[in-house]
Amino acid sequence: MTETASQARQGVGVSAQRPDAVLKVTGEFAYASDLWLEGMVWGATLRSPHASAWIRGVDVGPALAIPGVRAVLTHEDVPGEKFYGLDVKDQPVLAIDQVRYQGEPVALVAADHPETARRAAAAIVVRYEPRAAVTDPRESRNFVRYQPVRKGDTFEADVVVTGEYEVGMQDQAFLGPESGLAVPAEDGGVDLYIATQWLHVDRDQLAPCLGLPPDKVRLTLSGVGGAFGAREDLSMQVHACMLALRLNRPVKISYGREESFFGHVHRHPARMRYEHGATRDGRLVYVKADILLDGGAYCSSSPAVVGNAASLGAGPYEVPNVRVDATGVYTNNPPCGAMRGFGAVQACYAYESQMDRLAEACGLSPVEVRVRNAVSQGSALITGQVIDSPAPLADMLRDLESFPLPAPAGQDLRALPGGVSQTTHGEQVRRGVGYGVGIKNICFSEGFDDYSTARVRAELVGGEPHVTVHTAAAEVGQGLVTIQAQIARTELGVEQVTVATADTSVGSAGSSSASRQSYVTGGAVKAACEAVRERFSGLPAREALEKFGPIEETREYRHRPTYPLHPETGQGDSHTQLALCVHRAVVDVDVELGLVKVVELAAVQDVGRVLNPQALEGQIHGGSAQGLGLALMEEIQVRDGVVLNPSFTDYLIPTILDMPPMTLKILENPDPAAPYGLRGAGEPPTLSSTPAIAAAVRAATGLRLTRVPIRPEDIALVHNGEGSHGRCA
């Protein structure tokens, strides 16, 4: 992907046009699923139908007998290590003697046609001995991580509110399913063209499984159709490479939508119990929380998710006494890992629901109770970490409260719950308003060596200065390619900038997650540009390059150090940066039918420094939309370990008709420790939008509604006198 600017300089702070914008709108952009190479064959995966079972035998003969089938592989054909994983190598390349979740890969097929490959995979005979599956996380005694947080010793208060909350399993629901092309190389290695979030960690997991040194496993980023955390883990990468090396010819694997649901991790479902104690005037005395996260069958990034849920478990509020217990467990449910918000989303829904209950108990407004407890610069988190950059939460809440409310819906059916289906003409429609606040860590935490590498080359092309920026940072739709070019223009004063395709021939850039790439890769590009500029010796770019010839510099950038949480007290400076977003939601609810229409979302977010205004607004809109989905419609339905809705027919995501107009106020309070003073912005709106919408539905219905997503029956059955359905107590 390249960007060359022939127009006036578009540096930091300008809404520079995305280089891929027109191609994506017209459908000409090449995604990983569009990869093609002469002579390639197609791969397919056989997956387990059982959540838990022993494998007593595998017969590949029927598959090999099908014309056009080139290879069938099982775990016996793995050329190197048989296990991989992000944090713990616990996930088998192909199941060995057992399966631990529905959808676990058991065998691979390569064939001349994709349909032939799929038929052959279905023809493999596997003898399973099903066994009892552990699917209730409360019954699991197999811990991924337990992280307590302890602070203070006073757990009595004038006002006490308790609540039990639940968050369902959300899917990242990217539109471009997993796909990649593996090409065997003459040196005995393999070149993989892949849609991923983290090229180098993919390589470092692949190489041992393939029995190859890392330098013989080369990855190049292909077009990514969304990610949101689901592409941090391996999916088809090792399978395609195994087939390519076995056959010595290119192999493409491209999942369909249903297989995609089984091929990647999801957001951890959570069960949480909270107790808040406060003075009569609503000032927090203590918070107790028990957070249980279902990690599914394998570890993935669950330890870090548990750490986030623990350290941010009481929200952006000053609390002198804390007892938080966050636990992640293994089950036979689908594996869970990274998704936008990363542990903080689940906790945010619970502690914000509690703040609303506290406001009610103290006779305060939802905004006032939050203002009275809001953190500011100099406040300490429950982990003891001091917020040492601007955190104007109280002002943000007051700003949000001052926004005008939208006008009543009137009789326009398009504005009512149910829309033009004419389920109502407004007879049983009630309006509610709710607020939500979220705090999210930016970049990797707890001592992880978090860095990025950038190579910048300046040279004359056709007599004009030209700059090439090369990093391994994955562009997953967030606009990073645009930002890299803007930084180069700003630092070097050069209009023509090309951002080279990301690959593993340059040093690692880490993952495109944790809202970190503008911070870390932006910092690396800035540092490399500064090194190039220093070699200009004070001359303008053209003169310097005429005198010195091409100039190239490579730099690594690291943020300030972080430290692991203490395993017993949870104390420690575990995060490098924190970001705040606050939402107000306005909803109309048909209480007879249980239908919800989100009328408006308003948000105030502090981003430190705006690098690209239009891209930033898109991130806030996108994060808010995913929060809306979690609040009202998105959930992978799992029963006894079996996924019931692996399709976009039955797994519902917000459309343009579900997403309301948004009112935004973006604040710029620079973080002195960050490049340009920026503050990562992609994840915080995902946190606060969900509890704001849930609070608005509660305000409209008068129901407790302690679980998200809120379903129509949670509202309608109660108002029609049919009980709480166990979800609205």
At 585 the pLDDT is: 98
Residue 424 has pLDDT above 90, yes or no: no
CATH of domain 33-132+173-263: 3.90.1170.50
Stretch 546-574: mean pLDDT, rounded? 98
3 state SS of 56: strand
pLDDT at residue 729 tops 80: no
Q: Give CA–CA dist 182/205, Å, rounded.
A: 15
Architecture of the domain defined by 270-444+568-719: 2-Layer Sandwich (3.30)
280-311 confidence digits (pLDDT tens): 999 999 999 999 999 999 999 999 999 999 99
The packing angle between helices 237-247 and 199-210, to 10°, is 50
Q: Say whether pLDDT at 202 is over 80.
A: yes
Same fold, 21-29+451-558 and 33-132+173-263: no
Domains of the chain by residue range: 21-29+451-558, 33-132+173-263, 270-444+568-719
Q: What is the pTM of this model?
A: 0.96
Mean pLDDT of all residues in 78-92: 97
* Residue 128, token pair as written in the block: 């399973």
Q: Are 187 and 173 in contact (CB under 8 A)?
A: no
Distances in Å between the alpha carbon of 568 and those of 146, 239, 306, 462? 9, 40, 14, 63
Residue 718 — very low, low, confident or very high, per pLDDT cuts 50/70/90?
A: confident
> How do beta strands 321-329 and 284-294 pair?
parallel
The mean pLDDT value for 518-541 works out to 97
Give SS3 for 214. Answer: helix
Question: Distance of CA 281 to CAs 158, 255, 322, 347, 353, Å?
Answer: 9, 56, 19, 24, 18
3-state secondary structure of 161: strand
pLDDT at res. 7? 36
Which pLDDT does position 722 carry in this prediction? 61
Q: Which residues of 589-622 are buried (b: 16+ CB within 10 A; e: fewer)?
A: bbbbbbbbbbbbbbbbbbbbbbbbeebbbbbbeb
**What confidence category does residue 727 fall into, taking pLDDT thresholds of 50, 70 and 90?**
very low
Domain 21-29+451-558 part of CATH 3.30.365.10: yes
CA distances from 431 to 164, 426, 589, 597, 695 (A): 25, 11, 6, 9, 12
For position 3, what pLDDT does the model report? 40
Take residue 281 and report the two structure tokens written for it: 């005037």
pLDDT for residue 5: 38
pLDDT digits (tens, 9 = 90+) for 364-418: 999 999 999 999 999 999 999 999 999 999 999 999 999 999 999 887 888 899 8
Digit-coded pLDDT (tens) for 615-650 = 999 999 999 999 999 999 999 999 999 999 999 999
Residue 350 has pLDDT above 50, yes or no: yes
Q: List residues bridging with 497 in a β-sheet.
A: 467
Model pLDDT for residues 144-194, shown as the tens digit of each residue? 999 999 999 999 999 999 999 999 999 999 999 999 999 999 999 999 999
**Tens of pLDDT along 237-252?**
999 999 999 999 999 9
Mean pLDDT value across residues 556-561: 97
Mean pLDDT in residue range 463-479: 97
